[in-house]
């Protein structure tokens, strides 16, 4: 498989473009390979999104370039995929814990939590390139919360 | 006039093409390229890296075109809210319509080629625009 890399250098000041970039990279779920080098599995969407961020960096007075790469070995590729999977797995675990804890809440707080957790799940799925087992577990916990609400309604 | 964009049309490019034909150039002719270097000399590039009509300052290309051509129809800006979230999902706006629009556009590009996507998406965005126009007029969601 192929990977898309964003290589960038952004001035330390002002901090606003750095924060915006950091937030966008987090939303896309990139894996950080080194300072100023992030990667995602290559597809039309990931390449396009990183290209826009490269332009943002350039607009903010920095330097950025986009590269398409192949891992030098299968082990290296597995390690990269594992890092991506582990990052979303941690997010799924947070959602699952919150869903389980919500069963102790009152009805309206539970409804609010359900809405928020479903939205969180959508966001995580958008950056989940190698779904870990935690994905299904989190989804089950959130849907169990929904079913419990229907039963009490 | 000729307009050029990247091949593999998705929501932002489809929305831009609809907007260009509707509000800027009814005779617009679209060409699809794989690299910015392939844009014909006589074409205006949009939703491509380095193009003036691209993403700027957190705006998607649809919003950039609205600004650049001084299109201030509130219904178009309401469509922009949805297109922005469908394209970027950065939660700048509240747009519950966006994930649905994103999926529909992705599905269209799986079964149609780029010129066909623009035809179908043209009706899609015309309908979306009309819905938002009536919602703004009525001050509530139209039936």
For position A58, what pLDDT does the model report? 93
For position A13, what pLDDT does the model report? 87
For position A153, what pLDDT does the model report? 60
CA A31/CA A53 separation, integer angstroms: 15
Q: What is the mean pLDDT of residues A32-55?
A: 95
pLDDT of B106 above 70? yes
Tokens of A65: 């370039």
Q: Could you tell me the pLDDT band of residue A94, with boundaries at 50, 70 and 90?
A: very high
Taking contacts as CB-CB distances below 8 angstroms, the residues of chain B near A24 are 90
Tokens of B43: 């074409």
The complex's ipTM works out to 0.86
Q: Where are the alpha helices (DSSP H) in chain B?
A: 11-19, 61-68, 74-88, 98-111, 114-138
Does residue B21 contact residue B69 with C-beta atoms inside 8 Å?
Answer: no
Residue of chain A minimizing CA distance to B10: A45
The answer to whether the peptide bond before residue A14 is cis (omega within 30 degrees of 0) is: yes
Taking contacts as CB-CB distances below 8 angstroms, the residues of chain A near B99 are 122
CA A85/CA B66 separation, integer angstroms: 39
pTM of structure: 0.90
Q: What is the mean pLDDT of residues B7-33?
A: 97
Q: What is the pLDDT of residues B34-66, one digit of tens each?
A: 998 999 999 999 999 889 999 998 899 999 999
pLDDT of B17 above 70? yes
């Amino acid at each position: 498989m192929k990977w898309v890399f964003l290589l960038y250098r952004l001035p330390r000041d002002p901090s606003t473009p750095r924060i915006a970039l950091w937030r966008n990279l987090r939303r896309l779920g990139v894996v950080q390979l080194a300072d100023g080098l992030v990667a995602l599995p290559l597809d039309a969407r990931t390449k396009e999104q990183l290209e826009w961020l490269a332009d943002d960096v350039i607009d903010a007075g920095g330097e950025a370039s986009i590269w398409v790469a192949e891992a030098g070995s299968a082990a290296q590729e597995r390690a990269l995929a594992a890092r991506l999977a582990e990052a979303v797995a941690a997010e799924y675990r947070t959602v699952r814990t919150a869903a389980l804890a919500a069963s102790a809440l009152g009805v309206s707080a539970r409804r609010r939590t359900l809405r928020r957790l479903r939205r969180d799940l959508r966001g995580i799925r958008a950056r989940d390139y190698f779904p870990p087992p935690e994905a299904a577990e989190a989804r089950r916990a959130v849907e169990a919360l929904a079913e419990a609400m229907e039963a009490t309604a | 006039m000729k307009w050029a964009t990247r091949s593999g049309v998705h929501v932002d490019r489809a929305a831009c093409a609809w907007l260009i034909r509707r509000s800027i150039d009814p005779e617009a002719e679209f060409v699809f390229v794989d690299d910015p270097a392939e844009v014909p000399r006589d074409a205006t590039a949009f939703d491509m890296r380095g193009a003036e009509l691209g993403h700027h300052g957190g705006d998607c290309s649809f919003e950039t075109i609205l600004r650049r051509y001084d299109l201030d129809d509130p219904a178009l800006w309401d469509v922009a809210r949805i297109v922005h979230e469908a394209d970027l999902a950065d939660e700048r706006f509240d747009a519950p319509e966006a994930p649905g629009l994103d999926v529909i556009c992705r599905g269209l590009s799986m079964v149609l080629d780029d010129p066909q996507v623009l035809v179908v998406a043209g009706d899609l965005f015309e309908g979306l625009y009309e819905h938002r126009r009536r919602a703004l007029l009525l001050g509530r969601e139209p039936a």
